[in-house]
Amino acid sequence: MQLLKSIILLPIILVCLLAAPEGWAQVTLSGGKGQLRAMDADPVPAGQLYINGLYSLYLEKITTPIPVGAGVGQREELAVDHTLNVALTLGLSRTFELMLHAVPYQDNQRDLFGPIGDTQIGVKFHLPNRGSIFQSGLLGYVRLPTAPMHNIPYEGYSTDAFGWGLTGLASLDLRSSSLALPVKFIANIGYRDQDWGDRYFSADYDQLLFALGFKFPIRATLLYLETSGEVFVNQTDLLSLRQNLLRLSGGLRFLGPGQLVFDAAADIRLGNYTPSAAEMAVNPYLKRYADWKVLLGVTHRIQLFEPATEQDRARSERRAEEEKKNEEIRKQREQVNRELEELRKKIEKSQDQPPQ
């Protein structure tokens, strides 16, 4: 059944990944300029829309007990986890960026074909710091529970509720420094509220999110390395740090044919802890996360509109100034015409009067 599933699913995934336009882009799995999950403080260029699809795969051999005669035997099965992420990223200006993240397909380890996942809509606000190697920003987003099934195996924790989050963003670009090194460092730290209907910052399943990474180019290839995590901030008495979802991710992004940008990356779970079924039955915040994942993706760029340049703004200001002057001249002419008309009427009236 797993083989049939993979044979049918693979062409669908390839079509979705290759159905995209052109340009060099650096966007994350969930949208927004960045690496794999670590997000840059600055947005993508204004007027550009990035469309990226990213497919992830995980395999695990599972041994389950089965009755054999009067005793108990074992059966080995191969668990396969396919996930397809699709994201849109739109640069509105030098300070604002919009993003949309959807999961058209994810395995739930129960049905032959998995359902869709949750949907996330976010806005990035960049605090411009011209001429500085340090940039900062803020990401705000809402999560829509569009998935029919939540908290599925091998994925991050999720609930069947509307959620929201805030993440602080920082970037240090050494390319703009006196060192002129082609390296950029990224740091993110944020808070995720799994249910916006509960008390803020106090729910058991609220999480602290973080990401640290760096990237550097080698010719037409961009290499990056990062670590990221999702930590239950209010469960420190029941969970140790290594029992949360912690990852080390690395990958490369390169320019392919047709000006498509391709991604090849991998996740490795940190912590070296796998809970047993008995432990997960007692603690609902313990999960079986994927020990590793292979990720493949492709990105397109569409130029939706041309942003105004300094020259355009200067021309617009000059045009507005000229229109203002022309309007003043027009009003002056109208005033002169009215005065002349009044003078003409006075002259005609004086001529019509009989001499005394």
Distance CA 94, CA 313 (A): 15
Predicted confidence band of residue 72 (pLDDT cuts 50, 70, 90): low
| pLDDT given at position 344 | 77
Place of tokens 């602080």: 168
| pLDDT given at position 354 | 62
Global pTM reads 0.78
Mean pLDDT of 13-41: 70
Contact 298, 263 (CB under 8 A): yes
Contact 38, 248 (CB under 8 A): no
Q: What letter does residue 326 receive in the DSSP assignment?
A: H
Cβ burial, residue 138 (10 Å; 0-12/13-18/19+): middle
**What is the domain partition of the chain in residue ranges?**
2-303, 310-356
Is the pLDDT score of 324 beyond 60? Answer: yes
Mean of all residue pLDDT scores within the chain = 85
Distance CA 156, CA 269 (A): 12
Per-residue model confidence as pLDDT tens digits over 215-270: 999 888 999 999 999 999 998 888 999 999 999 999 999 988 887 899 999 999 99
Q: Which residues contact 286 (CB under 8 A, 6 or more apart)?
A: 239, 243, 275, 279, 280
**C-beta atoms surrounding 297 within 10 Å:** 25
Mean pLDDT of 203-222: 92
Q: What size, in residues, is the chain?
A: 356
The CATH fold assigned to 2-303 is Porin (2.40.160)
